[in-house]
Amino acid sequence: MLTDLSFLDIDQPWPPQNETDRLQQYQTNKRLFEGDHTAVYADQFHRIERVIGNFQDIISYAVLANFQKIISLKTADLLLGEAPQIKIDERSSVEQKTVDSIVESSDLINTAYENTIDISRYGDGLFFIYKDTDTGAGRIDVTQPSIWFPIVSADNVKKIQYHVLAWTFEVKAPQKTGFWQQFFTSTSEKESFLKVQIHSKGSYEEKLYKLENGTPTRIKELISSDVKQTGLNNFAIVQVSNIITSDRITGLNDYDDISSLISELEVRVSQVARILDKHAAPSVQGPSTAIEKDPRTGQYALKMGNYFPRDSTDDPPVEYVTWDAQLNANFTIINKLINLLYTISEMGNTIFGDMSGQSMGTGNLSGIALRRLMMSPLAKVNRIRMRMDTALKKALKLCSQLGGEGIVDLSDKPISIIWKDGLPEDPQEMAQVMQIRTGSKPTISQFRAVQQLDNTNDIDTQLEIDRINEDEARTNPMSGQNFPFSSTAVNTDPNNNNKNHMNMGGAD
C-alpha cells in the first residue's frame, strides 16, 4: 500500500513496485472474464501433452468453462437485475425530481451494474463524480481500478488521504506537432507520458509527466501541473469493495479462490475430449485376406463389404477393435471439482441451472423453495448490497452538489433505496400470503387483474369484462347480471325511471 506521494517523484519506477502485484492480478482477472483462459492457464494446459504424449497428431482444442464470467454476471443480476427504487424519505417533489434526474442522466442502474462486475472480478468498484461540460450538471460514472492508487495514512490504513488516478499513453511520431514536438528527438518514433490526477476533498491536482522507457519504465520529468476545484465537499471517487478486512485497503475478488479449481476442471475435460478424438475412428482387425494392394499408390487398404470365408473357428474374424476407455475416474474427479466450485464460489448449483439432486416432485420449485436453495448466493450478494447502498447514497448526494437545471442539494436529505433480490416472483405464493394477511378478502379488482394478465389498455380491459358478464348472464340464469341491480342492467334512460324496476309480485 502507498502512504505518501513519493512514488510520483522524478526517477521513480512506473508503476510503483509495491502495486505491481495488484495491477497484474487485475490484468489476469480481466483476461479470465473475457475468456482468454488458454493464456492464463498455459502451464496447466501443457499437462495434456505431457500425459497424452503420443496424441501429438490429434487436433484438439482446450475446453474452456468460463465460470468466472458467469459468477460476476450472476452477482450483478441478483443485485441489480430488478432495478431498486431510490426515494427521498421526505417525499418532497423537488428533491425526488433531483434524484430521478441524476438517476436518468447518469444511467445509474446500468452504471452500478458495471461497477458490480468490477467488484466481483477485481475486488473493488469505483464511482467517479464529475460535472458534465455539455449539460453543466453532475454525473455519476465508473472508473477503472487499474488506474487507481489509494494513498492511506501510515497510522490508519482505513483513512484515505488521496485518491490518485494515473494512466499512461503514447504519442507517435506522426502526432509530434505543436505541444508534443518538444519531447521528440530526431530519431524517436514514439514517446510515453503519464497523466495523474491527485484527488483531495473538494479539488484535484492534475499533472503530466514524461516517461523514460526502459526496464523498468521511470518517471523522467514533470511537464505541467494544475489544481482544479471539483465543487464537492468530499472526494470525487467513491470506493465500493467486495470482501475487505481490517488490514486491507483494497477488496478481495471472487476469482482467486476458484481459479485452481476451474483450471483443473478445464484440463480434465480437455483430456477426455482429446482421448475421445483419438479413438473417434475405430480400428478393425481380421485376416490378411481382408486387405488388398492399390496398384496406383502401392498402399494396402481394407476391403470392407466383401466376403471373407472362415474355414475354422481358429481363423480370425473381421471385426472392430473394442476400446475400453476407462474414463470413469476422470468423470468422478470432474464431478468432485464442480461440486467444490459450487461450494467455494458461494454460488451453489441452482444459479447455474444445475438442479440435479434437488427434490422437485412433479412440479416447479415454489418461490420459498427457490430462495432456500439460493441462500448462499443471496448472502454473498447481500455483502455487496450493504456497501453499494452506502456508496450510491453518497454518490447521489455528491452529484447533487454540482448543480444543474432543476437540481437541488441533497447533502442533508435522507435517501432510501429499496432493493430487490433479483429472483422471479411466485404469483401463487404471493396470492396465498395476501389471502392469509387479509383474512381471505380481495386484494385486487377484476379490472386490474384482467389488465395485468392480458396487458391491455383501459378500453380493451372494460370490453373484456363486459364480455365476461354477458357470458355469465347467458350460462347462469340466476346470475346477478340478469337483475337490474347488476352493473350491466342499470337504467340510463332519463325519461323512464321505472324501466328497470323489479316487481316483486305486488302492485307498483
Strands 237-241 and 218-229: unpaired
Under 8 Å CB-to-CB from 427, ≥6 apart: which residues? Answer: none
Overall average pLDDT of the 146-174 stretch: 92
Tell whether the model's pLDDT for residue 316 goes beyond 70.
no
| Cα–Cα dist 343/394, whole Å | 34
pLDDT tens figures, 370-403: 777 778 888 999 999 999 999 999 999 999 999 8
Long-range pairs, 44-47, Cβ under 8 A, ≥24: 44/263, 44/264, 44/266, 44/267, 45/266, 45/267, 45/270, 47/267, 47/271
The CA distance from 185 to 213, in Å, is: 14
Confidence at residue 199, expressed as pLDDT on a 0 to 100 scale: 97
The predicted-structure confidence for 408-461, as pLDDT tens digits, reads as follows 999 999 999 999 887 766 677 777 777 777 777 777 788 888 887 787 888 988
- Look at 462 and 348; give whichever has higher pLDDT: 462
Question: What average pLDDT does the chain have?
Answer: 82
Q: Minimum mean pLDDT among 31-35, 201-205, 459-463: which range?
A: 459-463
249 within 8 A of 1, measured Cβ to Cβ: yes
What is residue 148's three-state secondary structure? Answer: strand
- CB-based contact 190:172 (threshold 8 Å): yes
**Alpha carbons 147 and 166: distance in angstroms, whole number:** 5
Residues 6 or more apart in contact with residue 242 via CB below 8 angstroms: 119, 120, 123, 124, 251, 252, 253, 254, 383, 384
Reported as a pLDDT band with limits 50, 70 and 90, residue 50 is low
Please count the other Cβ atoms lying within 10 Å of the Cβ belonging to residue 165: 20
Q: Quick one: cell of 95?
A: 428533491
Rounded to two decimals, what is the model's pTM? 0.77
Residue for grid cell 467513491: 238
How confident is the model at residue 479, as a pLDDT? Answer: 61
> pLDDT tens across 460-477, in order?
889 988 888 888 788 876
Q: What is the pLDDT of residue 53?
A: 52
How do the residues of the chain divide into helix, strand and coil, expressed in percent and rounded to 5? 40, 20, 40
What are residue 118's DSSP bridge partners? none
pLDDT of res. 386: 95
Instruction: For residue 199, count other CB atoms closer than 10 A to its CB.
Output: 24
DSSP string, 37-53: HHHHTHHHHHHHHHHTG
Q: Is the pLDDT of residue 88 over 50?
A: yes
Pull the grid cell for residue 358: 434437488
